[in-house]
Structure 1
Amino acid sequence: MSSVSRIRFRTRVGFAVAAVAVASTVAACTSAARTDAGGGGAGRPVVLAYQNQIATLDPIRADYAQTNFVAQALYDTLVTYNSDNEVVGQLASEFSLSPDAKSIRMTLRDAQFHDGTPVTAQDVRYTLDRIAALGQGVAGQITGYRGTTIVDERNVVIELTEPNTLFLGALSKVYIVNSALVQANEGSDRGQAYLAANDAGSGPYVLAPSAAADSYTVTRFDDYWAGATGRPAGLVYRRIDESATQSAELKSGNIDVSFGLSTADARGLDGYEGVTVQSEPVNMQANIFFNVLTGPTANKAVRDVVQLAYDYSGGLASIRGGDGTIATGPLPAQFACRPDLPAFGQNLDQAKEVLADAGLSELTLTMKFQPVFKEQEREATLLQSNLAQIGVTLNLEPIAYADYLAALKDPASIPQMMLATDFAQYPDPGVMLVKTYQSDQVGTNKSGYASAVVDDLLRRAVATSDPVARCELYKQAQQTIRGDAVAVNMYTLSLTTAYSDRVTGVGPAVVGSGVWVPAIRAAGVDTP
């Protein structure tokens, strides 16, 4: 028998895309028989694989990719972004930012929560007040929130303490909860224990009981305001950390959507009957973050040496399969407002010169990485080899992501070097720059970086409503950050997804990371 599997590179506005898709045909391969595409009736639900533990379903932790992966099916935000990186309404049918960027007026559409109660202005105020009071998770996205004035049941004015052009976009990460339901189960922790395992949303799916650990089941909400036609009757989220296992489960027909595949496993699926593989650029970048406060990496010369030593081209080609572009600075390649800077490149001779000029000898460094991601393990080993060529010893230490997040809470415990991917919670250049490089952003400033110049540029950018002036300030900040060698910006990445022929509409999320679950449809079923 013959089969076709496609590797497609689709272009979004502002994305840097180097190649067009190629299709390959492979003969005589086998695949498991597949049940009906609808996920209902006699067939099993559509199964989506994810990696790493989901600590909570409370949508306040939508800053965690794992929580957001499920929350986006259960909840709605007031606004979101379309594929052109434009803010569009979701629960809000109309919205406007005031000229001074200190308030946002919104009108709610006719929508209802899963228990049948309407979504009202009270739910908006309760959600925002709850997030601000708890001060965790997506609270970091809505700093400067003063309060919400209810005009009537369908209209609110969100007020800010100071001008903030990022706030409107940040609402794309704020999932609105059913205030009456959460208040009835608030306990002493403002509903955190309740929402960790229960659903209080208005999204396209409803949380259902699950029979297995690390597995979550959701069923279609037929009264969803945006329609239910074409949506699978049910979805099951299954934790599968290993890429090879995800690949095997796709081949056997046990899962339908994977976005945790290594490059090698994704390539291995090319041509497998009933499976499509695609790669699309996303707002994610691979980096090595330095601790710029203490230890040897507080010395800029040491950071320059590591930047010059890494084999960017080799890493992108051999480890990431060429799916990406070499970085030029702190922002991924598809963002607007990036200065015209050269791509990073390896220069071992210059690295040796920097070592000699700085009087550095017998230099030993330590870098942490997440072994669950095989690409990171290979990149860590590559850098270790690169540095050995110039006489620098690099010790490698595995770390779990939860432990890394805990270390970032105190600048004194930031790892000396950390290999990590970084992504924007929503597609505005300011959100990535402020959270990662502004000095007061403890917990997301991964280097302990503090620059009065950068702080001033970013604060001025966030406060100005003139998009041209704001863009120029962002560019200046990026030039300073690159000049200070805060990180090894390696390459902008693509999201590789693989999915079965039971589903369509699988693609990267514009808000957050991973797959955008609400767009998934059952194959062969008309959409509204």
Structure 2
Amino acid sequence: MNDHDHNHTGLRRRGFLTAASGLGALALAGCGGSRGDSGGASGGGTPRRGGRLRAAFAGGGAGETLDPHRASLFADVARAKALYDKLADYGDDLSARPRLASSWEARPGLDRWKVSLRRAEFHDGRPVTARDVLYSYRRIADPAGAFRAKASLEPVDLDASRAVDARTVEFVLKRPTAEFPNVLASFGAYIVPEGARDLDRAPVGSGPFRLVSFAPGRTAVLRRNDDYWDGAPYLDELEFLVADEESARVNALLGGQVEYAHELNPATARAHEGRGRIEIVRLRNSAMQAFAMKTDRAPFDDPRVRRAFFLIADRQELVDGALSGAGVVGNDLFGKGCEFYADDLPQRTQDLDRARSLLEEAGASDLRVTLDTSSVAAGFTEAAGIFRDQAAGAGVTVEVRTGGKDSYWADVLDSGTLCCYRSGAMPIESHISQRLLTDSTTNATKWAHKDFDALYRQAQATKDDEERAALFGRMQRRLYAEGGFLVWGFADWIIGTAPSVRGVDRKAPANTLDWVRFDKVWLA
């Protein structure tokens, strides 16, 4: 969930073949350049221990889970981060940073990777071992399981991979993969003890907090893990509370019932910023905002229609209206400002005359389409209304259809032709592998081209950074010309805290290492 319009540097070089164990040396610049200090919501100061922080998130009722491999809601993911660790996680710049892995190293052919583990313990005192890692990954990859990270682990031959010793894993890959560290950092790839099964009832992780109690849809209480390998948290306890409506989260923060409120609307931030009652933290450009066009069905199976829709959009009007200005315009590509981003392509602007001409060429001058939307994400319904009015200027009739929040993402993945879409932060390589290959499991635009797939495989097998960047550039130029994602903006992710809260990172996009990093937060 990604960055402000500073000076985007495009390709950032990084050594992908090995990773050092010293985390301090990996403090790289974030996507899109500097975003200010990370001293905390109301400044820095000397950290102090003690107290309970109460954090309000939107929930999922009885469907909430403590199983880190099933986590999908932000509340689930935040709890998983507190209870568990991954081998790696994404830094502010979306590069993989070592966590339970102390280092990784590739064989020259990029089809075998050796991963060394740091000394760490699960909450029950058992050491984290290579066998635990393999068990966790095999559990995630189980065809009978519905685990989010399954697609990310697809390049790994888990049958051939092995534990070299207690703290060394040799991963054998199905094909050369230069970006393999992204697999280790992938969403949901948490390490659990060998043999762990019912993780909702008995969640044993190696994370900074231990479970005290859990009531799905209501609350979860966690206590500090004094033996945490990365240093004990400052807080004594951490409590997650459910408040589905944004107004409820804000009122709880204003009323002193919570000290941390996740995912606030831009209008709320504008109303309270600088007033002293609550602190507003903006994680710049954390969420890609887009319309997804299904490229396998009419009318969007004609690339001329897709190009016309690219030209219908007034991106600045969408950012100003749907996001209350809390973001920057997009250019129909994912990952603005991050590594491999094609920032050399011209910024697309509205051109209704050219849009009408393309529609006429396609025999679609009187086009009528349905745009699916929902209140499932901030700005979705507003964006749909704004785009409907913009499309009318090109002679296109857009009927906005508002669906329910609970089933929206499942419904629009396969049904309909045009929908509002949002994505959190991830490497551009991961976005392509998860959403734009023929066999991708979350391919919302139904983009399926064997030559595009082959180009991606070639990039993955390319060791040289510049050569690999050139291949990712070719893929993005293709998507810019005829892809199915109309990326109109990148939204700020907004968090509210009490003035007493310190240590909240101001740079980390949602879904990265330092987002909801409650082990580094303290109460002044």
TM-score (norm 1): 0.84
CA contact (8 A) 1:63 1:138 kept: no
Residue pairs, 1:128-527, within 5 angstroms = 128-134=137-143, 136-147=147-158, 148-173=161-186, 174-180=189-195, 182=196, 191=197, 194-210=198-214, 213-230=217-234, 232-339=235-342, 340-400=344-404, 403-407=407-411, 413-424=414-425, 426=426, 428-441=427-440, 443-507=441-505, 509=508, 512=511, 515-524=515-524
CA contact (8 A) 2:87 2:99 kept: yes
CA contact (8 A) 1:283 1:335 kept: no
Root mean square deviation of aligned Cα: 2.8
Structure 1 CA distance for aligned equivalents of residues 376 and 168 of structure 2: 46
Partner residue, 2:40 = none
* Matching residue's letter, 1:265: T
SS at match of 2:300: helix
Range with bigger deviation, 199-208 or 497-506: 497-506
Structure 1 CA distance for aligned equivalents of residues 479 and 405 of structure 2: 25
Range with bigger deviation, 355-364 or 452-461: 355-364
Aligned residues: 481
* Matching residue's letter, 1:205: F
CA contact (8 A) 1:501 1:523 kept: no
Q: Residue 405 of structure 1: CA displacement?
A: 3.9
* Matching residue's letter, 1:345: T
Partner residue, 1:89 = 98
1:444-465 per-position Cα deviation (integer Å, ceiling 9, x unaligned): 1111111233212111111222
Structure 2 CA distance for aligned equivalents of residues 83 and 503 of structure 1: 21
CA contact (8 A) 2:286 2:491 kept: yes
1:51 to 1:511, Cα distance in 2 relative to 1, 3 A: closer
Would you tell me which structure has more helix in proportion to its own residues?
A: 1
| Residue 69, structure 1, aligned to residue 104, structure 2 | no
Partner residue, 2:32 = 16
SS at match of 1:279: strand
1:215-247 per-position Cα deviation (integer Å, ceiling 9, x unaligned): 2222111111111152x1111222223222222
Structure 1 CA distance for aligned equivalents of residues 314 and 494 of structure 2: 22
Q: Residue 375 of structure 1: CA displacement?
A: 1.1
1:72-118 per-position Cα deviation (integer Å, ceiling 9, x unaligned): 11101112233354433211223212222112212222211111111
CA contact (8 A) 1:107 1:155 kept: yes
| Residue 115, structure 1, aligned to residue 99, structure 2 | no
1:345 to 1:96, Cα distance in 2 relative to 1, 3 A: same
Q: Residue 124 of structure 1: CA displacement?
A: 1.1
| Unmatched 5+ stretches in structure 1 | 1-7, 22-35, 183-190
Over the matched positions of the two proteins, sequence identity in percent amounts to 25
Range with bigger deviation, 414-423 or 271-280: 271-280
1:352 to 1:149, Cα distance in 2 relative to 1, 3 A: same
| Unmatched 5+ stretches in structure 2 | 8-27, 38-46
SS at match of 1:195: coil
1:284-318 per-position Cα deviation (integer Å, ceiling 9, x unaligned): 31110011111322222332232222221112123
1:306 to 1:446, Cα distance in 2 relative to 1, 3 A: same
Structure 2 CA distance for aligned equivalents of residues 152 and 485 of structure 1: 46
1:36-67 per-position Cα deviation (integer Å, ceiling 9, x unaligned): 98663xxxx21222224264322223465443
Q: Residue 19 of structure 1: CA displacement?
A: 9.1
1:117-167 per-position Cα deviation (integer Å, ceiling 9, x unaligned): 111121112111212224631011111211331222122212212111232
1:188-240 per-position Cα deviation (integer Å, ceiling 9, x unaligned): xxx2xx2235412110011221357332222111111111152x111122222
CA contact (8 A) 1:289 1:488 kept: yes
